[in-house]
Amino acid sequence: MRGYPHSRALMLTALLALAGCDQYPPVESTQQGFRGTAMVELAEPGADPAAAAQAAVPAALPQVPPGGPKAGDVYKNVQVLGHLDAGQFGRLMASITAWVAPKEGCAYCHEAADFADDSKYTKVVSRRMIEMTLAINTGWTDHVKETGVTCYTCHAGQNIPTNHWAKDPGPVRRSRFDGNQGGQNFPVRSVGLSSLPFDPYTPFLLGASEIRVNAPQALPTQPPHAPDILSAEKTYGLMMHMSDSLGVNCTFCHNSRAFAVWEESNPQRATAWHGIRMVREINADYIEPLAPVFPQNRQGALGDPFKANCSTCHQGLNKPLGGLSMLKDHPELGTPAPPPATTTAAATEE
C-alpha cells in the first residue's frame, strides 16, 4: 500500500488535466416532421465535416475561351469527348488528372510515346467512367439534382475510390466443432456490426431484389408479398449502410412511426429511391462489364471488380462534398455527348 498515495496523486493530476479538455458536445436535435412522430435528426455541434470536404476540393483551372477546332479533329482516338473544343478538352483532361491521379499525372492512363494507344487498362476504364459521369448528370437528376458529380466526387484524389465493395464470400468457417456458428454470420461493419447477412449490397445494389420488410397485406402467404426473415435482415443491412454512408439516422428519410408509409416520409426518401436505382445502373452497366479489363489487385475475392455503393460518393455526408457543385466549373460533364461522328484524326489523342 506504500504506492497508494502516489497513485492517488497521479489520478488527481489526470482528472485536473482532463477538466481543461473539451468535453463531449451537447447533442443538437432538429425536428424533421410533425411533433410526436419521432422524426428527429441528431447531430453534435463543433467540427463541420462538410466544410472540411469542400476545403479539400482542388481549385478549378481557368476557363478556356470557346471556339477553335474540335478535339476530335485535333487528336487521335477521341471516342467520347471529340465534340469539345480542343482547349476545353485539354482543360478537362488536366482536371481529371488532378482528381484521380495527381501523383502519376497523364502517364497513369496514357502511354507517353503515343497518347492514342489504348493498351493501358486505366485508359479503357477512364473512358467508360467519363461516359458514366455524363449519364449520371444527364439521366439521374432526380438523385443528383443540379449539383451533379465529377470524377472527384468519388475518387477525391485517389486512383481507387476509398469506399467500394465487391462480392463477399463470407467469413472463413472452421470445420471443427468449436467453429460451428449455427448458421449465424459474424458481426461485420457492412451491416452495422450486427450478425446479419454479410453481403447486403449484391442483391440490392447490383441486382434488383425487392427492398421490403413489411408485407402490403395481412397474413401474406405467397412471394413477393411474404418477405422472409432473411429478406428483412438484408434490408436492414442495406439501411444501416445508407445511414452510415450519409451520416444520418433513419428519420432523415422515414417517419419512424410508420417506416413503410411514403405519404408520411420525408422528400429525401424519394431521392434515396432514385439513388439506389442509379447505383444499380452504375454497377451493372458500367463497372461489371469491365471485369475482364481490371487486374487482380482491383478485384474482390471472387474476381469481380470493385463497385460503387452509397458511401462511394457520400463519404459520410448527406450531400457529397457537403453540397458543393463542381459541375458548374465543368459544364461539359453535364451535357449529353452527341452521337459519335467520323472525324479527321491528327497527331495525338486524349
pLDDT along the chain (350 residues), means of 10: 52 49 62 70 74 93 91 95 95 97 96 94 97 97 97 97 89 58 66 72 89 70 64 85 91 87 91 97 97 95 95 95 96 83 46
The confidence score (pLDDT) of residue 297 equals 93
Query: Are the C-beta atoms of residues 89 and 330 closer than 8 Å to each other?
Result: no
The confidence score (pLDDT) of residue 173 equals 60
The confidence score (pLDDT) of residue 151 equals 98
The confidence score (pLDDT) of residue 180 equals 56
What is the distance, to the nearest Å, from the Cα of residue 114 to the centroid of all Cα atoms in its chain?
33
Burial class (CB in 10 A: 0-12, 13-18, 19+), 243: middle
**In Å, what is the CA distance from 43 to each residue of 22, 234, 252?**
17, 27, 12
* 163-169+185-314 has the same fold as 60-162+323-335: yes
Separation between Cα atoms, residue 160 and residue 53, nearest integer Å: 18
Fold assignment, 163-169+185-314: Photosynthetic Reaction Center, subunit C; domain 2 (1.10.468)
Q: Residue 11: what residue type?
A: M
The confidence score (pLDDT) of residue 234 equals 84
| The Cα angle at residue 304 between residues 302 and 309, in degrees rounded to 5 | 115
Residue 224, CB half-sphere, CA atoms under 13 Å: how many?
A: 6
pTM score, whole prediction:
0.83
Burial class (CB in 10 A: 0-12, 13-18, 19+), 54: middle
Separation between Cα atoms, residue 161 and residue 82, nearest integer Å: 27
Helix (H, G, I), strand (E, B) or coil at 166: coil
User: For residue 228, what are the contacts with CB-CB under 8 A and spacing of at least 6?
Assistant: none
Tell whether domain 60-162+323-335 is in CATH 3.40.1160.10. no
Q: Which residues of 96-125 are buried (b: 16+ CB within 10 A; e: fewer)?
A: bbbbbbeeeeeebbbeeeebbeeeeebbeb
The confidence score (pLDDT) of residue 198 equals 72
The confidence score (pLDDT) of residue 142 equals 97
Q: Structural domain boundaries of the chain?
A: 60-162+323-335, 163-169+185-314
Q: Residue 169: what residue type?
A: P
Q: Residue 144: what residue type?
A: V
